[in-house]
A and B are shown apart, each in its own frame.
Chain A
């Protein structure tokens, strides 16, 4: 039987995804070194085409697009990853408690989850930002609020199946308490679908963040890819690079996350991969 790592890394699509994500992460960490100037600073004449003094040209106010892209990767990744972490933590908690206890608690928690699921998620995020005022933290809160329900459902389903396995009964017979059984016996066995759903959720979070920034609901003092597309959209005919460059960056990042997420899925559930 092949190990998880050999199945995961033996997949060429995973490599492509990991290379792009690794590059992105390095750029995001080293943003201040790669582009020391403020991305909002006006550095040259407006609408300079790519390939000149600035590799990716300048925008309508003469800001460096490359610097925007580099600093934008930091904002986009940070907000998406944080939002996903919050969503996973909250969703896992709700799903685990509902699945483990069952009965009335399960009913109440699942109706609560459905309440969030029935509201169109993007509209809900817009309303939240409008109410909370745009800022980086509120973006994280809004994205997490609209993305935890699927996590709760996945975890609840897994907990329900794991709970009925005999090793859980063995822990009850040994006298382990409910909270300890849930954390030490049940949850570790729900990890694989959780990792897969969580990794794919990052891609959705990036899209939501970009869309919000595009609408001008992003963090005001934070350069992000969505903000760049939003700012450049009225100059699409004169300066194609203003929307294309950050657009391609979003496309590649979401694609890379999906490739890695699917690779994780294939490696963690080898039987499904065979079908």
Chain B
């Protein structure tokens, strides 16, 4: 058994008095050993991030503070250290990798300088030695053209490159422990796979211990040596990765594993002869940004290039792609939030593209949208009843009747009908998304466009919302256009998939066929990048 790097003993982190529970972390004991990756998995609010922050003394004091226990690191209790002593450990012996690489880097400083700064503060290297070390680090994290990289500013790099720079900074002083808090959550799935691979490779090469905080069991399967599952500030289960993932003991872990969307493709259920509801022909959309009042250089982004697709009645199509692929733009054009440059969008044979907002109004009730962010998609100053009843009332339904229908819809989506009198802030993220679905259904649309409706939700809630969408789709006879970056989610919900890359649909077909034999290289790379693919496939039918 290898030596213990960090020992957390009965750590307690108190929350401010007005919170819904006393402790963010309530008596957690954990050991992190040399040369291992320990994954802390938990849903939002489980206290996993607070624990990571407590180790580095980064808790948002004075409201949140460690009130009990010890964190032993190299013979000292981190909770008892002075600010100065803590500062030399932070960055030096323990390094941190954050979720959002853009905010972790100083936008006004060249990347090379930022890495060099770490060395300047913590070591007595001479400037030429430092420059040499920076270049070596950049090579270590496999960034192309190291000389050009050190002279770049963060905004000139892609998200994945930025995260590599952050990792290089973390490694600069050969720390004994790296804490990575959701380091790949903000990245695209193919970039995520590369970064996970990099972290694992560097961890093996340098013999560093890594505390990896994540909510995604796929990532855990990809990277973890040991796993600790957290819930409500307590550890419900910990053990070797193979054991926790393969044969979970605690009921909570079992439920979480069961909620992971499988890679089992959904089968074609609809009759081949049902007619087309939505037809998009040669749609083009280009964004132009002119810089300033006097024209100057114009930047063009081709968000959609000659896109054609059709969606049959009562069927569902998933648009899968990474950020910047144009999938959201396409959705916004179909829903009429964006105007198209050229091309045709027809619903039920009626042209809806090229109409003004006023002309579009009669068609609004046929197409509705479920939005991504459940916290931004409900007006915080309106009651739930008014939010849901808005659409029907604009279509001439009386208020009493619309509110009555809203109560019925709330019951259908699994909420209490008296929620009509309450405000959005009284509901959790998953409940709000149910309200968003009820709002979309209120005008009895033919087509629902769902833009990443579950990507902001925890995995267990995600599963419930997906099941709800599925049930409602059948009972209402709806068609659905489902936008997602996650192939796993697409497979569970949709019979057909269209893969988008840089504004084009590169592959399209029945989910089962694409899953059996992806033909386009980009599709194949998306499949390869699904975190924990082998483990998910081993789960069997859910």
Contacts and interface: CB of A to CB of B under 8 A. Distances in A.
Contacts of B379: 167, 171, 185, 188-189
Interface stretch (B197-205, B295-303, B342-350, B390-398): B390-398
Interface stretch (A17-25, A115-123, A172-180): A172-180
Interface residues of B, number: 31
B381 A165 contact: no
Interface in B327-377: 335-337, 357, 360-361, 364-365, 367-369, 371-373, 376-377
B364 A175 contact: yes
Nearest to B371: A166
B380 interface: yes
A166 B377 contact: yes
Nearest to B367: A173
Contacts of B372: 166
B376 A173 contact: no
Nearest to B62: A274
Contacts of A171: 379, 390
A175 B377 contact: no
Contact of A274 (B63, B337, B357, B368): B63
Contacts of A172: 336-337, 357
B60 to A, nearest CB: 9
Interface in A234-275: 274
B337 A165 contact: no
Contact of A167 (B337, B357, B360, B378): B378
Contacts of A175: 360-361, 364-365, 391, 394-395
A174 B395 CA distance: 9
A188 B381 contact: yes
A166 B332 CA distance: 12
Interface string A67-78: 000000000000
Residue with the highest number of chain B CB atoms closer than 10 Å, among A1, A171, A175: A175
Contacts of A178: 357
A54 B202 CA distance: 88
B336 A167 contact: no
A1 B395 CA distance: 38
B285 interface: no
Contacts of A2: 18
A33 interface: no
Q: Which size class do A's interface residues fall under?
A: 10 to 19
Nearest to A180: B394
Contacts of B373: 166
A173 B357 CA distance: 10
A169 interface: yes
B394 A173 contact: no
B271 to A, nearest CB: 30
B439 interface: yes
Nearest to B443: A174
A170 interface: yes
B369 A173 contact: yes
A172 B335 CA distance: 10
Contact of B336 (A165, A170, A173, A188): A173
B18 A174 contact: no
A185 B390 CA distance: 11
A1 to B, nearest CB: 6
Contacts of B337: 169, 172-173
A159 to B, nearest CB: 14
B371 A170 contact: yes
A1 B443 contact: no
A178 B357 CA distance: 9
Interface in A1-42: 1-2
A170 B18 contact: no
A167 B376 contact: yes
A171 to B, nearest CB: 7
A234 to B, nearest CB: 54
Contacts of B360: 175
Contact of B394 (A165, A169, A174, A188): A174
Nearest to A186: B379
A175 B390 CA distance: 9
Interface string B401-425: 0000000000000000000000000
A176 B390 contact: yes
A170 B394 contact: no
A93 B63 CA distance: 40
Nearest to B372: A166
A1 B377 contact: no
A173 B378 contact: no
A174 B381 contact: no
Interface string A133-172: 0000000000000000000000000000000011101111
Nearest to A1: B18
A173 B364 contact: yes
B381 A170 contact: no
Nearest to B442: A174
A261 B478 CA distance: 51
A174 B364 contact: yes
A174 B376 CA distance: 16
A176 B389 CA distance: 12
Contact of A170 (B63, B367, B369): B369
B371 A174 contact: no
Contacts of B336: 172-173
A85 B250 CA distance: 62
A1 B20 CA distance: 9
Contacts of B387: 167
A59 to B, nearest CB: 51
Nearest to B379: A167
Interface in B428-451: 436, 439, 443
A173 B367 CA distance: 8
A185 B335 CA distance: 20
7 contacts: A2-B18, A169-B377, A170-B369, A173-B369, A175-B391, A188-B379, A189-B380
Given A166-B372, A169-B369, A185-B382, 15 more contacts: A2-B18, A166-B371, A166-B373, A167-B376, A167-B379, A170-B369, A170-B439, A172-B337, A174-B390, A175-B364, A175-B394, A176-B390, A176-B394, A188-B382, A274-B63
Q: Which 3 pairs, one residue from A and one from B, show the smallest C-beta to C-beta distance?
A: A175-B364, A166-B377, A174-B391
